[in-house]
Structures are given as structure tokens and as C-alpha cells.
Amino acid sequence: MRRSVYDGRIIRLEVERVRLPNDVEIDLDVVRHPGAAAVVAATPEDVVLIRQYRFAGGGFLWEVPAGTLQPGESPEAGARRELEEEAGMVARELRGLGSILTTPGFCDERIHLYLALGLERLPMRHDAEEVITEVRAFPWPRIGPMIDAGEIVDAKSLIALYHGARNLSVVLDSGR
């Protein structure tokens, strides 16, 4: 049995009666999310991060460009759209890096990760509800120290950067 508790702009909250693999029946709160795409816009020398305001995260965060998929949109199309909207870039090549479940204990959100190569700049066109103050290319050797210093804390970005660096054979080393 499934009961809708809240239906918002991006998420839906449901309470579901489920039987667990150990045969116990319980009610679970489940956040339903349409999915998202995140993009590591990079060369072997550097990677592009955006500085975006995240109210729930407590302020401005350095992140890879990312966003919620629109109804009927493929993850690759969403990745291309978000790269253009948030970073003002288009990619000649987009490589899939897999997908992640953000918080599987209570949410079904799946973020599809991509590596964008052959980048070209375009005019910026952020959505009205996005506050992006900076789009900057960082040398790959700077990323490890930024992570160690807590300057990059967003989970999707950390995982995307890891996979992007591995794909490009870049070492995320803090120099220790």
C-alpha cells in the first residue's frame, strides 16, 4: 500500500507499507525524485566547477554542473542542458561515468554522471532560481587539496570528480 504525503515541485513524499526480505512488515517514508545528471567538464589539465548557492547546504558550494531531469528527458540530454545552462559550455563528446543513488535509505534519486570533453564556451543562461556566482576551471592538482580542505563537500561532485579523474588518468592527490 502506498500513500502520498506531499507532492512538490521536484520531489514527492510517500509512505509505503512494505515486506522486508526478513519477512517483517513496516511503513517506510520514501522520497521520489525524477533523477538528475551531473557533468565533469574537463581536459587532462583542468576541470570546471561552479559556485552555486544551496540553501539546504548552508550557503555557496563548489560543484560540478548538475540538475534534475525534465519529464521525458534522457540523462544525456539533461547533462548537455545543465552544462550549457550552468557553465555556459557545450561538449563535443559526452562519456557516461555510471550513476549513483544519493541517499538510498529514504530516497530513490539516481544521478547519472558524465564526462564532457571538447568544450566550447557559450553565453551563460542560468535559470532564475539558480544563484551561480562563478564558473571556474581549476587545475586537477588543486582538486585534491580542495577536497581535503572541505572546499568541495557535495557528494555527487566528489564522486563525479573521482570517476572523471580516473577516466582521464588524473591523480587526485593532496601531495601528502
Q: What positions carry a catalytic annotation? A: 130
The maximal CA–CA distance of the chain, rounded, in angstroms, is: 56
Cα-based distances in Å from 47 to 8, 12, 65, 82 = 34, 34, 11, 16
In 1-149, which ranges are E strands? 2-7, 12-19, 25-32, 36-42, 46-54, 59-63, 66-68, 89-101, 110-121, 132-139
Q: What cell was used for 139? A: 587545475
Question: Residues 149-161, buried b or exposed e (16+ Cβ, 10 A)?
Answer: eeebebebbbbbb
Please report, to the nearest 10 degrees, the dihedral formed by the alpha carbons of residues 89, 90, 93, 98 taken in order.
60
Grid cell, residue 158, equals 566528489
The strand pair at 110-121 and 89-101 is best described as antiparallel
